[in-house]
């Protein structure tokens, strides 16, 4: 949809080369392009205006470096400034010196508050805390039930006075409840509300006044457009917000709302949501976010994520096997399990501009159902069969199909696919001996 900003700037910058210094005049076109890129990424209009003015001031008078592409030079300035605006990476939650720590989730409807409450609870549980999730949304049908299920999924305690009680009372009572259950963190899930709804804003202010949370997290979704400034501003005016949770970053929104939110609230983004499941919560990385807003792709996180799960040594072993075509179904199974661990890597890859087109739609998707049945089939084979698929004759196929609850056709298809993949990999390894060194190999990629 958007070509890379760098590329677009190249054109705008052609006539600056060799001009010595960056001036208001020779920067005009490129600033125009940057402005456009930011607006397309949903950064608020007024925020962009201010930002461009700042950039201009900074860049003015700088030498035009002949050694690097001028486009990259200004992108670098913009990128650095975006990173600076978005503040430090990895702002942790402030935990109270004397427990319990009180955390309140607030925001508009449908942004991901309840899900994020569960994610934060799981995150803290993993760090050795005992969180209590508190259901204080009495308006959305089944919201309390949703929170209870989320708490169960996270394996943490939950509490609510129910949907007929005053949410303020629920939050107040939660303290005693936490003490009784020996919980050291209280996470309150409040109802979604519009910033212009005075009655509802009054309610959340009352909760705040009564329980004085240590953290008040404004939850907003990354697809939010220009209006992010209006809602965030009024929430900020009503409540002492301490941080932002930016959800649904697993989509393909550029996420310019991040800049708007930080600009109006002055609060750091403490977490980002990258999926519906409760472990899909990550610390915020301003650098990656800046890349994404400028359409430069989230390459860093892709690489990091891949490194995290792929055992390097094993990858090399696989590579060797692939080259010699001794790669067998056992290896295939192991690789598939690694791939599963990588989970959302397909989503990450899609964020890289151009990548999606190159790979073709669906290529990067790991279909968990499909994998389950492939796994079942391979599990039903003997070790010998896994190593030498050639010996799998008709009667073995029938046995495997029965054992895995699949059909002979499905077993046939898997064996055929596997054989094709093996050939393909062998060829690939021959061709790319030098170039692809060190890149962990992934099946199907």
Ligand X SMILES: Nc1nc2c(ncn2[C@@H]2O[C@H](COP(=O)(O)OP(=O)(O)O)[C@@H](O)[C@H]2O)c(=O)[nH]1
Name residues whose C-beta falls within 8 Å of residue 307's C-beta, 6 or more positions apart in sequence. 440
Q: Helices 70-86 and 286-293 sit at what angle, rounded to 10 degrees?
A: 130
Residue placing its CB nearer to another protein in the complex, 40 or 330:
40
272 to 331, contacts with Mg ion by CB under 5 A?
A: none
174 to 193, contacts with ligand X by CB under 6 A?
A: 192
Which x/- pattern over 256-285 shows residues binding another protein (rule: CB under 8 A)?
A: xx------------------x---------
Residue nearest to ligand X (CB): 273
Query: What are residue 136's DSSP bridge partners?
Result: 190
Query: What are residue 244's DSSP bridge partners?
Result: 218, 269
Which range touches ligand X (CB under 6 A), out of 176-184, 236-244, 267-275, 415-423?
267-275
Gap between the Cα atoms of 328 and 343, Å rounded: 23
108 lines the binding site for another protein (CB under 8 A): yes
179 to 198, contacts with another protein by CB under 8 A?
A: 194-198
379 lines the binding site for another protein (CB under 8 A): no
CB 271 within 8 A of CB 299: no
Which range touches ligand X (CB under 6 A), out of 176-184, 274-282, 303-311, 416-424?
274-282
242 lines the binding site for Mg ion (CB under 5 A): no
What phi and psi values does residue 417 have, to the nearest 5 degrees? -60, -40
Name residues whose C-beta falls within 8 Å of residue 64's C-beta, 6 or more positions apart in sequence. 16, 17, 18, 19, 20, 21, 22, 70, 73
- At CA 194, angle to CA 190 and CA 197, rounded to 5? 105
Gap between the Cα atoms of 406 and 389, Å rounded: 18
Q: Which of 258, 215, 261 is nearest to 234 (CA)?
A: 261
Which x/- pattern over 95-134 shows residues binding Mg ion (rule: CB under 5 A)?
A: ------------------xx--------------------
Q: Look at phi and psi of residue 400 and say left if phi exceeds 0, alpha if psi is from -120 to 50, else beta.
A: alpha
115 to 174, contacts with ligand X by CB under 6 A?
A: 115, 140
321 to 360, contacts with another protein by CB under 8 A?
A: 347, 350
Please state whether beta strands 269-273 and 281-283 pair in parallel, antiparallel, or not at all (unpaired).
antiparallel
Which x/- pattern over 24-43 shows residues binding another protein (rule: CB under 8 A)?
A: ------------x--xxxx-
Gap between the Cα atoms of 16 and 63, Å rounded: 11
Of the candidate residues 85, 170, 260, 274, the single one contacting ligand X (CB under 6 A): 274
Of the candidate residues 273, 297, 346, 353, the single one contacting ligand X (CB under 6 A): 273
Of the candidate residues 157, 250, 298, 385, the single one contacting ligand X (CB under 6 A): 250
Residue placing its CB nearer to Mg ion in the complex, 114 or 160:
114
Residues that bind ligand X (CB under 6 A): 107, 109-115, 140, 192, 194, 219, 247-248, 250, 273-276, 280
Residues that bind Mg ion (CB under 5 A): 113-114
């Amino acid at each position: 949809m958007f070509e890379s900003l760098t590329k677009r700037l190249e054109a705008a910058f052609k006539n600056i080369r060799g001009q010595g210094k960056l001036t208001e005049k020779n920067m005009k076109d490129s600033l125009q392009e940057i402005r456009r890129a930011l607006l397309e990424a949903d950064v608020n209009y007024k925020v962009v205006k201010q930002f461009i003015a700042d950039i201009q001031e900074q860049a003015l008078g700088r030498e035009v470096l002949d050694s690097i592409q001028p486009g990259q030079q200004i992108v670098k300035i913009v990128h650095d400034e975006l990173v600076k605006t978005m503040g430090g990476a990895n702002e942790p939650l402030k935990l109270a010196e004397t427990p319990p720590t009180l955390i309140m989730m607030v925001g508009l409807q449908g942004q991901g508050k309840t899900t994020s409450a569960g994610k934060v609870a799981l995150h803290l549980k993993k760090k050795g805390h005992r969180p209590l999730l508190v259901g204080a949304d009495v308006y959305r049908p089944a919201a309390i039930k949703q929170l209870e299920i989320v708490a169960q999924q996270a394996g943490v305690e939950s509490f609510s006075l129910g949907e007929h009680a005053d949410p303020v009372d629920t939050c107040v009572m939660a303290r005693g409840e936490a003490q009784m259950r020996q919980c050291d963190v209280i996470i309150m899930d409040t109802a979604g509300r519009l910033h212009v709804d005075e009655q509802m804003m009054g309610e959340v202010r009352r909760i705040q006044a009564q329980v004085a949370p240590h953290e008040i997290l404004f939850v907003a979704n990354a697809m939010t457009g220009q209006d992010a400034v209006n809602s965030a501003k009024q929430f900020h005016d009503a409540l002492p917000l301490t941080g932002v949770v930016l959800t649904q970053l697993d989509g393909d929104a550029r996420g310019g709302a991040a800049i708007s939110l930080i600009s109006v609230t002055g609060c750091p983004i403490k977490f980002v949501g990258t999926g519906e499941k409760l472990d899909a919560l990550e610390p915020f990385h301003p650098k990656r976010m800046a890349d994404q807003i400028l359409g430069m792709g989230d390459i860093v996180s892709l690489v990091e994520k891949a490194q995290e799960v792929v055992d390097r040594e094993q990858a090399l072993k696989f590579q060797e096997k692939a080259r010699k075509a001794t790669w067998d179904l056992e290896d295939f199974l192991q690789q598939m399990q690694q791939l599963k661990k990588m989970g959302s890597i397909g989503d990450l890859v899609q964020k890289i501009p151009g990548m999606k087109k190159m790979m073709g739609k669906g290529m990067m998707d790991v279909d968990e159902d499909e994998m389950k049945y492939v796994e079942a089939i391979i599990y039903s084979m003997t070790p010998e069969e896994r190593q030498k698929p050639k010996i799998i004759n008709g009667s073995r196929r029938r046995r495997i199909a029965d054992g895995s609850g699949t059909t002979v056709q499905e077993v046939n298809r898997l064996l055929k696919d596997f054989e094709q993949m093996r050939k393909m990999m062998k060829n690939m390894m021959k061709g790319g001996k030098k170039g692809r060194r060190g890149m962990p190999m992934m099946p199907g990629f």
